[in-house]
């Protein structure tokens, strides 16, 4: 599994990472007439090529922030920009990988990966990229399989290939490993980091798993309960590849849990 990522045939992506700036973003949902606030004056800045994790309790509004960054919904207040240009709608340079792989069951693995190229009408000229992306996630042999024939981890890899084939400058990861078993999860955490290092995109990961955030990201932003505010953010300057047993990770973890009010169990 790992080896497939470590010795790929050709580098797929050369794009520079995106710079994302969210300034004073607030958001509320209209729930039967009254406003339900989910985000409260959030500032978020991603440097090009940076890997940032958003850590917060479940239901705190972190996924909503991702949807705003992806352009799937407009923010109720505040501004969001991508390399200085306002984010008004979804764009293939900012790809979201959701918690569910959400593969289209009627398409083969290859056709699922080809989705973005097809949607933009460039499939005929760039078909080779599909096979490159499949090789990158180690699923070349499964190109003609249908999604229901895949395991959870494989399906999530296909979703990743479907994102990477578009050469994104920002990869938005909405708890992408949340439904995997713990072993597959650890493997894929390593794979994702390796992919990010090679491809150079910016990455924004949402997770409620403290260890995952600390193991993968360069910077971790801790969010409060709904409506989400930024409680703290800390840098993790450990070099990659990281080791899960590193004492610095344990320290950071303690700090993060304290911020989330869970340090009693530590």
Smallest gap from Cβ 110 to other proteins, in A, equals: 13
Between 21 and 100, whose beta carbon lies closer to other proteins?
A: 100
Is 48 or 71 the residue whose CB approaches other proteins more closely? 71
**In the bound complex, what is the minimum distance in angstroms from residue 64's beta carbon to other proteins?**
13
Q: Distance (Å, rounded) from C-alpha 234 to C-alpha 21? A: 18
Q: Which is nearer to other proteins, 94 or 253 (CB)?
A: 94
Q: Please, how many CA atoms are within 13 Å of residue 183, restricted to the half-sphere of its CB?
A: 1
* CB 165, min distance to other proteins, A: 9
72 or 143: whose CB is closer to other proteins?
72
**Are residues 213 and 256 in contact, defined by beta-carbon separation less than 8 angstroms?**
yes
Query: Would you tell me which residues interact with other proteins (CB under 8 A)?
Result: 70-72, 90-92, 94-96, 98, 100, 102, 104-107, 115-116, 118-120, 146, 148-149, 162, 166
β-sheet bridge partners, residue 26? 77
* Minimum CB distance to other proteins, residue 104 (Å): 7
| Burial of residue 91 (number of CB atoms within 10 Å: 0-12, 13-18, 19+) | middle
Whose CA is closest to 43, among 204, 210, 221, 226?
Answer: 221
């Amino acid at each position: 599994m790992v080896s497939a990522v470590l010795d790929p045939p050709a580098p797929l992506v050369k794009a520079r990472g995106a710079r994302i700036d969210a300034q004073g973003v607030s958001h509320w949902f209209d729930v039967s007439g009254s406003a339900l606030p989910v985000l409260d004056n959030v500032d978020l800045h991603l440097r090009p090529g940076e890997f940032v994790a958003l850590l917060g309790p479940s239901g705190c509004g972190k996924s909503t922030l991702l949807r705003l960054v992806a352009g799937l919904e407009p923010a109720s207040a505040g501004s969001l920009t991508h390399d200085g240009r306002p984010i008004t709608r979804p764009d293939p340079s900012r790809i979201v990988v959701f918690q569910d792989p959400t593969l289209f069951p009627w398409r083969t693995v290859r056709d699922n990966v080809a989705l973005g190229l097809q949607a933009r009408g460039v499939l005929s000229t760039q078909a080779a990229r599909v096979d490159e992306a499949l090789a990158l996630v180690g699923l070349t042999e499964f190109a003609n399989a249908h999604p229901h024939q895949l395991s959870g981890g494989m399906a999530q890899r296909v979703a990743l290939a479907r994102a990477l084939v578009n050469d994104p400058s920002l990869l938005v990861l909405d708890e992408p490993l949340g439904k995997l078993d713990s072993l597959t999860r650890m493997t894929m955490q390593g794979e994702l980091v390796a992919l990010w290092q090679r491809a150079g995109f910016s990455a924004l990961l949402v997770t409620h798993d403290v260890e995952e955030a600390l193991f993968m990201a360069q910077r971790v932003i801790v969010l409060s309960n709904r409506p989400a505010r930024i409680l703290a953010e800390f840098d993790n300057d450990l070099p990659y590849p990281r080791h899960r047993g590193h004492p610095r990770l344990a320290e950071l973890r303690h700090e993060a849990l304290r911020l989330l009010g869970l340090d009693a169990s530590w």
